[in-house]
Structure formats: structure tokens, C-alpha cells
């Protein structure tokens, strides 16, 4: 069940991406013609669209720009964008064949396989690039410069890597943390 290999425990939990599918969109009519659309201009300037197949939420703006969140793989993200494009085409809107998109953030979970002492880590790093306030949140926040990501470390040894642009960022972050913790004798 548990392979206990830190580098094999990586799992993408969420991907956020942005794209420009057209030059302008009429949100009011778009919202009324799409079934799963939610639109409250007072509340938020974009239309919220929820897809069930790849479970993704899309934010559609009047500028023609779109934000996709919730995808658990780059593949499902692409499929989600295709589905969104098809829905807009069905409304008579011209959308490019393969809209360009940019991954803005990838959230990955991982497991070091061993419980860790957050207090010792905070001391070991001399609080550099580290924030640990258990009164407020149980995780220790570690900001890495390379890769430029933020890691949330928990006492259980599980962690969250966020802020990455490519899947490899999380992989590198875990490797770096493993080597830093072992060189500090904290793992």
C-alpha cells in the first residue's frame, strides 16, 4: 500500500492555468445560455463554469480570458479547456482550434515517510526562509528560491508544494528538502 519512497509519493492535487480564447465575450448572454454557469457581476466580474468530467471550474471574463482550476493532471487540464472551447463554439463564438494556455500554479502533495520535528527544523534553519506559527497553522512554511516554490511541512512528514510551474518543480523541491534535512540530521 505505501511505497515509502518520497520521490514516488508525489501527487498533483490541483493545477491553475490561464488562457485567452477570444477577444471579447458577452457574459450576460453567455451565462443565461449555459446551464452550469453562475454569474453575479456584483460578487465577481467573471462567469463561473463547473465541469464534471474532468472536475474543473472555469472563470470566464469579458475580455475573452479564462482561468481553469481544479485539474489533477496536465492532460485533464487540456481536455477541460477543449470542453470549454466546444461549449463556447456551440454558442456561435469563434474559438481557435487549440487555444494556448499557461500553467500558473501546480499544487502537489508528498510524503517524506517519517514524522519530523518542526521545532528543530525551525531552529536548524535559524528561521531563514521559514515561518512556523503553530498557534495559527500546524504547518511550517518554507520558501525555496530554486525551485521557486513554497512548501508546507507537517509534523507527520507529509508536505504540500505549491507555486510551481512544471511538475518537476515539486520533484526538485522534495529532493532539496530531503538533502537539507538529512545534512542537518533532522530526518
Partner 1 sequence: RLRKWQRRIRVSNATERNLAFALSELDRMASALGLPRNVRETAAVVYRDAVDKNLIRGRSIEGVAAAALYAACRQCSVPRTLDEIAEVSRVSRKEIGRTYRFISRELGLKLLPTSPIDYVPRFCSGLNLKGEVQSRAVEILRQAGERELTSGRGPTGVAAAAIYISSILGGERRTQREVAEVAGVTEVTIRNRYKELAEKLDIEIIL
Can you give the binding site for DNA, defined by CB under 7 A? 13-14, 16, 18, 38, 43-46, 48, 50, 55, 57, 59, 61-63, 65, 67, 69-70, 104-105, 107, 109, 131, 136-139, 141, 143, 150, 152, 154-156, 158, 160, 162-163
Say how many residues touch partner 1, by CB under 8 A: 19
Beta carbon nearer to partner 1, 17 or 140: 140
Q: Which of DNA, partner 1, none does 89 bind, CB closer than 5 to 8 A by kind?
A: none
Cell for 163? 507555486
Report CA 47 to chain centroid distance, whole Å.
20
H helix count then E strand count, the chain: 4, 10
Least distance CB 153 / partner 1 (angstroms): 9
Least distance CB 80 / DNA (angstroms): 11
Name the nearest CA neighbour of 125 among 43, 72, 180: 180
Q: Which residues contact 44 (CB under 8 A, 6 or more apart)?
A: 59
Binding map of partner 1 across residues 149-168, x = CB under 8 A, - = no contact = -----xx-------------
Exposed, middle or buried: residue 71 (CB in 10 Å: 0-12, 13-18, 19+)?
Answer: buried
Q: What would the DSSP string read from start to end of 59-90?
A: EE-TTSEEEEEEESSHHHHHHHHHHHHHHHHT
Q: Does 115 bind partner 1 (CB under 8 A)?
A: yes
Beta carbon nearer to partner 1, 38 or 131: 131
81 neighbors 101 (Cβ within 8 angstroms): yes
Beta carbon nearer to DNA, 63 or 183: 63
User: For binding to partner 1 (CB under 8 A), which residues are involved?
Assistant: 115-119, 122-123, 126-127, 131-136, 138-139, 154-155
Amino acid at each position: 500500500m505505501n511505497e515509502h519512497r518520497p520521490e514516488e509519493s508525489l501527487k498533483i492535487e490541483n493545477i491553475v492555468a490561464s488562457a485567452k480564447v477570444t477577444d471579447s465575450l458577452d457574459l450576460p448572454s453567455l451565462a443565461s445560455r449555459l446551464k452550469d454557469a453562475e454569474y453575479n457581476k456584483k460578487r465577481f466580474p467573471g462567469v463561473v463554469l463547473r465541469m464534471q468530467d474532468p472536475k474543473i471550474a472555469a472563470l470566464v471574463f469579458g475580455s475573452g480570458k479564462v482561468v481553469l482550476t481544479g485539474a489533477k493532471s496536465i492532460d485533464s487540464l487540456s481536455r477541460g479547456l477543449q470542453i470549454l472551447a466546444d461549449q463556447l463554439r456551440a454558442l456561435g463564438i469563434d474559438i481557435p482550434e487549440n487555444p494556448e494556455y499557461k500553467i500558473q500554479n501546480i499544487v502537489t502533495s508528498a510524503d517524506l515517510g517519517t514524522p519530523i520535528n518542526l521545532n528543530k527544523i525551525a531552529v536548524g534553519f535559524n528561521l531563514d526562509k521559514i515561518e512556523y506559527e503553530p498557534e495559527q497553522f500546524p504547518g511550517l512554511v518554507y520558501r525555496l528560491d530554486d525551485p521557486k516554490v513554497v512548501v508546507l511541512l507537517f509534523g507527520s512528514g507529509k508536505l504540500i508544494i505549491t507555486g510551481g510551474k512544471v511538475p518537476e518543480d515539486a520533484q526538485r523541491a522534495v529532493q532539496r528538502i530531503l538533502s537539507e534535512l538529512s545534512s542537518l540530521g533532522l530526518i
